[in-house]
Structure formats: structure tokens, C-alpha cells
Amino acid sequence: MPPRSGPAKSGAGDRDHLLLRVCQLHYEQHLTQQEVGERLHLTRWQVGRMLKEALAAGIVRIEIVHPQARSHDLETELVTLSTLTEAVVVPTQDDPAATQLAVARAAAEYLADLPTPPRTLAISWGRMMSALASAIPPSWADGVTVVQANGGLSRPGPGDPGSILTAVARQGRGQALFLQAPAIVDSPTLAAALRREPSIAEVLGVARSADVLVFPLGAVSHDSVLVKSGCVLPRDEVLLAERGAVGDIVGRFLDASGALVSPELEARAIGLTLDDVRAAKLSVAVVAGEQKHAVAEACVRAGLCNVLVTDAGTAQVLKHRLAGQSAGQNL
């Protein structure tokens, strides 16, 4: 075998050809880096460096084609068209329940993959968060405090905050901090008194200063958790319809532009405000399904989340609407 002295110095064309040969031998002929080096008189270190260079230059593209793989092109387009710093987009499934589960799992994985695990996580509740709590992996954090971002249910219903916070905290080897108040009460006077109550004020303070805030987006419908739990009364539903509400974030109802639609309901709500959400260090909105397209658009337009975790169908609709707005502004 000839001595391994490294490749002779050559021009750019020879260098490109050498990169091509390294890639072909490794990826097409399935030779190990050691075997490629022996074939081309390179060290294993040189082969590894050239494979990285080929990936960076686009000579080699690695594509994951699993049906649950993320849609990175859509993610990039959403970030480009909005104030989002990051998007996570997974394929839409044939069944809405399966889509919700896939998005919840993606959100759980996003939390688990954060470079620095949060010491404090503020979390809202609902069906999507129940699915996230079931999907979050063990030891996703170490000693995390999981704090309730808005008041809970006035009567038992889907997406119970107690079970959600307990599960997420347990999997993160931490503790849960509950907000012992309903999400929406009967009168502004009662709401104001509850917000002044020291234990509630303390929990809200912890939620405001959390490292990460995660919340689902709720639609305005008879099937929503807030309606089914009795937090939103029939008269409130009429008012929301008249004001053009498209959904809620932590129990705060907004219109298509992301503005609050009802000072009356706002005064009766207990939890983080939209200003608190906008000021969060890292805010992650989790949403799936056709029924949530309008509220997803409102959330992104109003800059109420840094990160959006959603399905490809919602992402496509959002992309087209945001692109249309951008085109209109450029006229």
C-alpha cells in the first residue's frame, strides 16, 4: 500500500472531484471513512472533514422521508414571513385526533430538546396540553417548576390542569405550582379580589418570570374547553360572536388581528394577560386542525409567540395568508 501522505495540492476542479469521490465511496458504495481514506490515500480525519464540507456545500443532501418527519421548508417559510424565531411543523394526519397527537408529541420533543432545560415552565391547559403531558419523555428536565399560567376549570372537564401539570412536573423531576382560581369568574370585582390574594399573586408572578411559556390555542366553539367547563357562559358566547372573536390564548379572547375583543371578559379572567404572553422569555404556541387556523393566524400576526408548533395543513394556510399580507404591504 502506498504511504499515506495526503492528497497532492491541486486546483479547485481537482478539489471538487475529490469531494465527489469521497461522497460516492462513502454514501453510494457504503465504504467506511477508514476504507475511503485507504482508497484515496487520506487520513480518516480528512475524510470526515470532507464529508462535512460536502454537506455544507450542498454536494450531499440528507433527507428524512419518514411519514412523521418535520417539514423544514415550511418551517423556514413561516419564520421568514413572520416574527417567529422558530417553527416546528409535522405532517397532517388523516384523522384529526392523530394530527393533534402528532403535534403534541412534537411540542413535547421540542421542550425535551431545548439546549438549556428550563428551571421554570409556565403552562396553560386543555386537550392539546393533555396530549403533550402524555407524550413528554422521562427526565426531559431536572428539578423543573411547572406553574399554571391561567386559572382552571369551574367544574370538571377535558384538559384538567391538575393532571397536566402533575404529569409534566413528574417527568421533569420537579414540582407543580397550581393557580387556585377559575379561569373566568362571574364578576370583575371578584376577579380583582382574587388577583390580589397573596397566594394567587405569587403564582402569577412565577408564571410571568418563567423561562418558557407553553400554551394551546383555543377556538370559539360550543366544544371548546372553556365553554364545556362552564367558564364561558351562553351570554359570553353571543358577545364573542358579535365581536368577531376567533379564539383564545390563556383564556384571553382575540379577534383576527390578535387584539382583545371583550373588556368585559378580560376583566373577569384570572391568569397571564396577552401582554404577559408577549413579554415571555420564550413563548411556544401549540395548535392543530382546521378549526384553529384563524386563531393561529391571529397569534402569529400579533407576535404572541416566538415558536409555533403545528401541523402542515395549518402551516400551509398560515404561509399563504402571511405571504398575501406581505405582498399587499409591498404594493
Q: Are 95 and 17 part of one and the same domain?
A: no
**64 inside domain:** no
Query: How many domains are contained in the chain?
Result: 2
- For residue 264, being part of any structural domain is answered with yes
- The arithmetic mean of pLDDT across residues 281-307, rounded, is 96
Note whether 232 and 258 are same-domain residues.
Answer: yes
Establish if 226 belongs to a structural domain: yes
Cell numbers standing for residue 71: 417539514
Q: What's the pLDDT at 16? A: 85
Note down the domain range covering 314. Answer: 72-330
CATH code at position 278 = 3.40.50.1360
For residues 52 and 76, state if they share a domain. Answer: no
Residue located via cell numbers 404561509: 319
pLDDT, residue 68, reads 64
d(CA 209, CA 304): 16
Alpha-carbon distance 128 to 121, whole Å?
Answer: 16
Residues 53 and 78 in one domain: no
327: confidence class by pLDDT, cuts 50, 70, 90: low
Is residue 212 one of the residues assigned to a domain?
A: yes
- Same domain for 229 and 122, yes or no, is yes
Residue 287 within any structural domain of the chain: yes
CA distances from 46 to 5, 22, 50, 55, 147 (A): 11, 10, 6, 14, 50
- Same domain, residue pair 26 and 80: no
CATH number of the domain that residue 24 is part of: 1.10.10
Report the alpha-carbon angle 206-109-53, nearest 5: 120
In terms of pTM, does the model score above 0.75?
Answer: yes
Q: Does residue 275 lie in a domain region? A: yes
What pLDDT is recorded for position 5? 44
Q: What is the pLDDT confidence band of residue 44, given thresholds at 50, 70 and 90?
A: very high
57 or 201, higher pLDDT: 201
137 shares a domain with 20 = no
**pLDDT, the chain, mean:** 90
Neighbours of 264 (CB within 10 A): 12
C-alpha cell at 242: 358579535
Please indicate, yes or no, whether residues 157 and 25 belong to a single structural domain of this protein. no
Cα dihedral sign, 11-12-14-18:
positive
Report how far residue 160's alpha carbon sits from residue 163's, in angstroms, rounded to the nearest whole number.
6
**153 falls in which pLDDT band (50, 70, 90)?**
confident
User: 5 in a domain, yes or no?
Assistant: no
> Is 111 in the same domain as 26?
no
List, for residues 245-288, the tens digit of each pLDDT value.
999 999 999 999 999 998 989 999 999 999 999 999 999 999 99
The Cα 114–Cα 72 span in angstroms is 18
Is the predicted pLDDT of residue 28 greater than 90, yes or no? Answer: no
Q: Are residues 116 and 141 in the same domain?
A: yes
Q: CB of 314 within 8 A of CB of 276?
A: no
Q: Are 294 and 321 in contact (CB under 8 A)?
A: no
What's the average model confidence in pLDDT over 191-211?
97
Map grid coordinates 410571568 to a residue.
208
Q: Are residues 210 and 292 in the same domain?
A: yes
Q: Are residues 77 and 170 in the same domain?
A: yes
**Segment among 5-9, 103-107, 205-209 with least mean pLDDT:** 5-9
User: Is beta strand 120-123 parallel, antiparallel or unpaired with respect to 86-90?
Assistant: unpaired
Residue 7 forms part of a structural domain: no
